[in-house]
Amino acid sequence: MVASVIEGVALAGIVACVPERRETVEDLAARFGEDAARRIAKATGIEARHLVPPHQCTSDLGEAAARRLLDRLGWATDSVDLLVMVTQTHDHILPASGYLLHHRLGLGKGAAVLDLTLGCSGFVHGLWTASAMLKAAGGRRALLVAGDTTSRVLDPDDRAVAPLFGDAATATALVMEEGGAPMAFVLGSDGAGAPYLAVPGGGLRRPGEPAHLFMDGTQVFAFTLREVPGNIRAVLERAGWTMGTVDRLVLHQANAQMIRHLAQKLGATPDQTVVGLAGFGNTSSASIPLALASELGTALCDGPLRLVLSGFGVGWSWGSVALTAGPLAVCEVMTLPASPAESAGSEAQPAKGAGREAILAGPSAKIAEP
């Protein structure tokens, strides 16, 4: 177990980006039948999800979010010392997507870039990594981009997973701040859980098989109940807090019933518990910052909040952080329009004979105002 307290690093802003296209319960009813669609919505609390078109990738959503964030903060691109990107749905096998963002955002050559392949625990792990690296290296500013386009690895006819996952990416700004409130982290891993939430095909081990997500929901639920409550209690102890002193508990947004069940086990009230997945679904590593932006955006811009954030999933991996955030300069959700003609450069496979240009290019579509 990794347990640490990092001082002097603060959140400066958050921007979440979702694709324009939405799939609703009514759309699912046309595919799976109305009764099945309604049962799924009732069981999960998910009423709609945003899904990328075929030409958009995670880096496109992340780029849009990061550009908006840098603009709102007034940060020059060459002032960013560190870029950490968290995603399981990379544009390419290589290079890592963080380097594509580094180029497209115009970050300086002195900036360090690191990619983490993590899912639902990814934001907390990424926040820990970025904060620790920023402090250790003596930098001043960092960008944490976390998101996934999970719809790209789903079998659309698999009712066990297709109705659950949405696409999103988020950009979070971190800044060194003398005297800033400490962040307490507790992280954990158990590789025995790897087979229960996986995309077995499409990689180098099974290249001839389709890249479709498999999820054993029973095992996921059992793992969550086994590891997450104790992890959150440990981070509260590390921070010297009790649940009664927490303003908001923000769990990975996978299932509304699971969120409420975990919150009840921890003694959190409904007012403390953030549930913000109805219009987005499970957005993997983006779910926690997306919930912060969609549900607490105004509150975080107005003043400080004591937050406990907890992510858990693929690996198995899990992690929680207790931190005080706000007032933030920006905390909002934006939409990236679907414009195939303008975004052709972001296709996953570069054109033959034009590999360098196709890999480096990103979407030029106009970004919609929130």
Candidates 50, 90, 102, 252; catalytic one: 252
- pLDDT tens for 297-324 read 999 999 999 999 999 999 999 999 999 9
pLDDT of residue 209: 92
Radius of gyration of the chain (CA): 19
Mean pLDDT of the chain: 92
- Tokens encoding 46: 């998910």
- Amino acid, res. 182: P
Q: What is the mean pLDDT of residues 55-84?
A: 98
CA distances from 231 to 122, 185, 211, 223, 311 (A): 15, 10, 32, 12, 10
* pLDDT band (50, 70, 90) for residue 362: low
**What kind and span of H or E run contains 19?**
strand 9-19
pLDDT of residue 363: 55
pLDDT of residue 364: 44
How many residues are listed for the chain in this entry?
370
Tell me if residue 282 is catalytic.
yes
Tell me if residue 120 is catalytic.
yes
Q: What is the mean pLDDT of residues 30-50?
A: 93
Q: From CA 66, how far away is CA 127, in angstroms rounded?
A: 16
Query: 187: domain range?
Result: 2-345
Q: From CA 49, how far away is CA 42, in angstroms rounded?
A: 15
Q: From CA 346, how far away is CA 57, in angstroms rounded?
A: 7
In a domain, 276, yes or no: yes
* pLDDT band (50, 70, 90) for residue 360: low
Q: What is the mean pLDDT of residues 279-292?
A: 98
> Contact, 220 vs 196, CB < 8 A?
yes
In a domain, 368, yes or no: no
- pLDDT tens for 160-202 read 899 999 999 999 999 999 888 999 999 999 999 999 999 999 9
In a domain, 180, yes or no: yes
In a domain, 362, yes or no: no
Q: Which residues contact 205 (CB under 8 A, 6 or more apart)?
A: none
In a domain, 364, yes or no: no
Among the listed residues 318, 169, 319, 161, the one whose alpha carbon sits nearest the alpha carbon of residue 255: 161
> Contact, 328 vs 311, CB < 8 A?
no
CA distances from 30 to 24, 27, 157, 249, 277 (A): 10, 5, 12, 36, 22
Judged against a pLDDT cut of 60, whether residue 71 lies above it is answered with yes
pLDDT of residue 339: 76
CATH of the domain at 38: 3.40.47.10
Q: From CA 181, how far away is CA 90, in angstroms rounded?
A: 33
Question: With b meaning 16 or more CB within 10 Å and e meaning fewer, what string describes 276-302?
Answer: bbbbbbbbbbbbbbbbbbbbbbebbbe
Candidates 57, 231, 282, 331; catalytic one: 282
Q: Which residues contact 313 (CB under 8 A, 6 or more apart)?
A: 119, 120, 121, 197, 220, 252, 254, 284
In a domain, 360, yes or no: no
pLDDT of residue 1: 77
**What kind and span of H or E run contains 319?**
strand 317-325
Can you tell me which residue has the tokens 């029973």? Answer: 218
Strands 183-189 and 2-6: antiparallel
Tell me if residue 255 is catalytic.
no
Judged against a pLDDT cut of 60, whether residue 344 lies above it is answered with no
In a domain, 217, yes or no: yes
In a domain, 353, yes or no: no
Q: How many domains are there within the chain?
A: 1
Q: What is the mean pLDDT of residues 103-123?
A: 97
Judged against a pLDDT cut of 60, whether residue 351 lies above it is answered with no
- Tokens encoding 181: 């409130």
Q: From CA 180, how far away is CA 370, in angstroms rounded?
A: 30
* pLDDT band (50, 70, 90) for residue 131: very high
pLDDT of residue 114: 98
pLDDT of residue 359: 52
Candidates 120, 125, 255, 331; catalytic one: 120
